[in-house]
Amino acid sequence: MALRIEGYVIVSADGMLADASNVMPDQLRFEGDQAFFSAALDRVNLILHGRNSYEDQPNSPKRRRIFLTRKVATIAPDPANPKSTLWNPDGASFDAACKYASVDSGTVAVIGGPAVFGMFMDRYDVFWLSVAARVRLPDGEPCFPGVPARSPQQILAAHGLHAGEPQMLEPAEDVSVTPWRRDARD
């Protein structure tokens, strides 16, 4: 299956995607980043996330998605949303879940949480890492398995991804996004 896989996250300067109660705090919500993220999700063919990482944006109900849950054994329709598929990776492959969701080409956006990001670390074509450089979340939820022993950037690099040009999303707050690409020509 020829799917392009992209990752998206916004993290604090210390590599956290949520606070100590595993909730994404308002400190990590920035208009510039939300606009970037929403435009990206409007372009992709499929969104993939864990049960707690629904992006909750105005266009969310229009988007095709698969979410991971152990509440099903393999793959099942989401009774709450006709555009959504429930998937348990212990019982069925990612390809099978995509096929069930009627997606066999195009781009998949992986949007968290940490365990789900970790599952695809060797498969991203590009990972869009947004960093809020002035925010720190001590005791927060690390964005990837292996953080904070290593930084998110060190983990992406260890999985064969290379940093491209950062793009400033909110200059007054020092929020930028950097594409980490597997192929420098990508």
Ligand X SMILES: NC(=O)c1ccc[n+]([C@@H]2O[C@H](COP(=O)([O-])OP(=O)(O)OC[C@H]3O[C@@H](n4cnc5c(N)ncnc54)[C@H](OP(=O)(O)O)[C@@H]3O)[C@@H](O)[C@H]2O)c1
Given the rule CB under 6 A, which residues bind ligand X?
9-10, 17-18, 22-24, 28, 49-53, 68-71, 88-89, 111-116, 141
**Nearest approach, Cβ of residue 170 and ligand X (Å):** 14
**Nearest approach, Cβ of residue 166 and ligand X (Å):** 17
Side-chain half-sphere of 102: how many Cα atoms within 13 Å? Answer: 6
Q: Of all residues in this chain, which one has the CB nearest to ligand X in the complex? A: 50
Beta carbon nearer to ligand X, 51 or 134: 51
Q: Are 5 and 108 in contact (CB under 8 A)?
A: yes
**Nearest approach, Cβ of residue 131 and ligand X (Å):** 11
Beta carbon nearer to ligand X, 52 or 107: 52
**Nearest approach, Cβ of residue 160 and ligand X (Å):** 22
**Nearest approach, Cβ of residue 130 and ligand X (Å):** 7
How many Å apart are CA 67 and CA 53, to the nearest integer? 9
Beta carbon nearer to ligand X, 70 or 134: 70
Of 8, 4, 36, which is closest to residue 156 (Cα–Cα)? 8
Instruction: Give the start-end residues of each E strand in the chain.
Output: 2-12, 16-18, 46-50, 65-68, 75-77, 84-87, 105-110, 126-132, 141-142, 162-163, 167-170, 175-181
Would strands 105-110 and 46-50 be described as parallel, antiparallel, or unpaired?
parallel
Beta carbon nearer to ligand X, 89 or 164: 89
Beta carbon nearer to ligand X, 22 or 102: 22
Task: Give the single-character DSSP code of 109.
Answer: E
- Cα angle for residues 69, 70, 73 (degrees, 5° grid): 110
**Nearest approach, Cβ of residue 82 and ligand X (Å):** 19
Beta carbon nearer to ligand X, 88 or 107: 88
Of 48, 69, 58, which is closest to residue 112 (Cα–Cα)? 48
